[in-house]
Structure 1
Amino acid sequence: MELRHLRYFVAVAEEGSLLNAAERRLNTSQPSLSRQIRDLEAEVGVQLLERQARGVTPTAAGRVFLDHARLALLQVEAATEGARQTALPQKPVLSMGFLVGLEVMWLPQLLRILREEAPDVEVTLSTQSSPELALALMRGKLDIAFLRPEKDKEGIVFKILAKEPLIAVLPAEHRLASRKKIRPQDLAREIYVSSARTSPVLQEVIQSYASRVGITLKPKYEGENISSAMSLVASTGGISLVPLYAQNMLAPNVVARALEGTIPTVDLALGYNQSSSSPLLHRLLARADELIANVQNQSIIRYADVQ
């Protein structure tokens, strides 16, 4: 049995068609692929695929074989990658995660510090929701992340970087857009669009604010993230509350306005796994205050002071 037999079988099982597997994934002909599958079944000694008028499906034995075939191919891929990495000169790698849109403010200053600390570092970036970033830190998929201080994340340390004031975003032609500040009572009368569907920390801050000012904010629409929430604002004529950094993401048909009265804030943190032994990570943490100052000095957005 050869690896190509496993690859062919997995492709056919996943595509549900010999023709589609041959043309889309394997760059071979259907008759040739059929012969390879028959050879594989003869070697295994059982029927792996059931031929039907509309395609093929794995038999009970085929489903078991499929799981093992996928695992075998993954192991071969891992072995190959491991060998290649071993043969290559080792470079320091730093995996960073950001809330969607936040990298615009923090990444340039972070890269400047990185170039001083480790000029040859290889940087990988990802943007996800705050709970997803925290989970990636716990699993060792990320070295650092710019996120909210999520609760019950064992082993993750959160260093507070800033307190982000919340602002209201609304359509540019909304009747309240002419005001410099939005009153809490005005929010309660409008269609409310939630920007915190995947951010429990932000959701808690918003609900606490609503309770404090005596209003109810029950979302009629919910965005997956801040970007999608602002799209919903534009399309529905509603209003949303978002962290101040979202001003970097405003579309031309959406405007931002400050809130009147005591302004709620949500914490922005630099998160990392306390079990990490990366020397580079600890050098970056030692310069976190410098990073904060640089962002404050270079940005037109002003965060509240961290207490």
Structure 2
Amino acid sequence: MELRHLRYFVAVAEAGSLTEAAEKRLYTSQPSLSRQIRDLEDQVGVDLLNRNARGVELTEAGKAFIDHARLALAQVDAAMEAARRAAQPSKPRFALGFLTGQEMTWLPDAMQLLRQELPNIEVAVSSDYSTELATAVAHGKLDLAFMRAEPGYDLEYKVVRKEPLVVLLPSDHRLTAKVEISPEELRHEKFIAMADKAKVLRQVIDAYLHRSGVEVEIAQSVDNPAMVMSLIASMRGVTLIPAYVQDLMPWSVISRPLAGDVPTIDLVIGYSASNTSPILEQFLSRVDGLVARINKPSV
């Protein structure tokens, strides 16, 4: 088994499509990518993906395999980074984390801020589930993360954006004819719910549905945005999700705003008050300007 097999498998699982992964993430041909995935399945000895006309989805074996694949790739990347650092003169280091998908919005301006204020530092960037980010910040592996305000951690949180929830549904679903969708219209749809790793988001969604008097039929629970979209397309389901995920949507999935009192979820920066890093202090002193630039309405 080679590392490229793991990278290809993770890319396909996150894209929910062999074609999408081949053309937009791996820059290879779809037949070649299919062969690589088949080679991996032959080595593992089980099917990792279910293939259908709408794309691919993880089998139960694939769900068990993917976390280990991601861990193996992360460990390899960490080993390479450690080797590079060892070969270079030591620089002050700042570790920055992002809720997966949020780096598309926040990373460019965050990096610009750091480079302008502190040009001679090493910046490490990673993305993960919010709970994993909270653990990493609490243990000192990250200096700061853009994440959810996870309970149970001794961290400081500052709200940087209130994100509205939107409805995601298949692009040919009957509800796409609506300009806005009311919560009552979700009542009889197959609902893709958030799993425990996205517990803050799940709590916001559950509270919104409860106060709207709506009980939904939960068809599947997942915690990865790519898998959410894959299941929406393959299972003909719907979900509620923060609006930033719209930047990650494939053609097979579309979004619509909610009608009425739209629920929001806080995106925060999380950091430890016990972290005495001068780089963190400098970043925090400039973060209001960063937030103002990102949240400035487009014209």
**TM-score for both structures, normalised by structure 2:** 0.69
Q: CA deviation at 1:127?
A: 1.3
- Which residue of the partner structure matches residue 77 of structure 1? none
- Which residue of the partner structure matches residue 57 of structure 1? none
- Which residue of the partner structure matches residue 197 of structure 2? 198
Counterparts of residues 89-238 of structure 1 (less than 5 Å): 89-154=89-154, 156-238=155-237
Residues 104-136 of structure 1: per-residue CA shift (max 9 Å, x gap): 000111111111111122221211111111001
- CA distance change for structure 1 residues 174 and 113 in 2, over 3 Å: closer, same or farther? same
Retained in 1: the 8 A contact 2:161–2:295? no
Q: Residue 106 of structure 2 aligns to which amino acid in structure 1?
A: W
Total equivalences in the alignment: 219
Q: CA deviation at 1:295?
A: 0.8
Q: CA RMSD in A?
A: 2.2
Retained in 1: the 8 A contact 2:168–2:241? yes
- CA distance change for structure 1 residues 283 and 231 in 2, over 3 Å: closer, same or farther? same
**For the pair shown, which has the larger CA radius of gyration, 1 or 2?**
1
- In the alignment, the residues of structure 2 paired with residue 167 and residue 120 of structure 1 have an alpha-carbon distance, to the nearest angstrom, of 41
Report SS of the residue matched to 2:104.
Answer: helix
- In the alignment, the residues of structure 1 paired with residue 216 and residue 84 of structure 2 have an alpha-carbon distance, to the nearest angstrom, of 54
Q: CA deviation at 1:197?
A: 3.9
- In the alignment, the residues of structure 1 paired with residue 244 and residue 209 of structure 2 have an alpha-carbon distance, to the nearest angstrom, of 21
Q: CA deviation at 1:297?
A: 2.8
Q: Residue 210 of structure 2 aligns to which amino acid in structure 1?
A: S
Residues 253-295 of structure 1: per-residue CA shift (max 9 Å, x gap): 1111000110001111000111111111111111111111111
- CA distance change for structure 1 residues 218 and 279 in 2, over 3 Å: closer, same or farther? farther
- In the alignment, the residues of structure 2 paired with residue 192 and residue 112 of structure 1 have an alpha-carbon distance, to the nearest angstrom, of 40
Report SS of the residue matched to 1:137.
Answer: helix
Q: CA deviation at 1:196?
A: 4.5
- CA distance change for structure 1 residues 215 and 89 in 2, over 3 Å: closer, same or farther? same
Runs of 4+ in 1 over 2 A off after TM superposition: 81-90, 297-300
- In the alignment, the residues of structure 1 paired with residue 166 and residue 87 of structure 2 have an alpha-carbon distance, to the nearest angstrom, of 52
- In the alignment, the residues of structure 2 paired with residue 107 and residue 95 of structure 1 have an alpha-carbon distance, to the nearest angstrom, of 12
Q: Residue 104 of structure 1 aligns to which amino acid in structure 2?
A: M
Retained in 2: the 8 A contact 1:196–1:223? yes
Retained in 1: the 8 A contact 2:188–2:216? no
Unaligned runs of at least 5 residues, structure 1? 1-80, 301-307
Report SS of the residue matched to 2:244.
Answer: helix
- In the alignment, the residues of structure 2 paired with residue 281 and residue 299 of structure 1 have an alpha-carbon distance, to the nearest angstrom, of 29
Question: What is the percent sequence identity of the aligned residues?
Answer: 40
Q: Residue 112 of structure 1 aligns to which amino acid in structure 2?
A: Q
Q: CA deviation at 1:82?
A: 9.9
- In the alignment, the residues of structure 2 paired with residue 98 and residue 286 of structure 1 have an alpha-carbon distance, to the nearest angstrom, of 19
Q: Residue 194 of structure 1 aligns to which amino acid in structure 2?
A: A
- In the alignment, the residues of structure 1 paired with residue 207 and residue 160 of structure 2 have an alpha-carbon distance, to the nearest angstrom, of 21
Q: Residue 153 of structure 1 aligns to which amino acid in structure 2?
A: Y
Retained in 2: the 8 A contact 1:194–1:219? yes
- In the alignment, the residues of structure 2 paired with residue 95 and residue 149 of structure 1 have an alpha-carbon distance, to the nearest angstrom, of 19
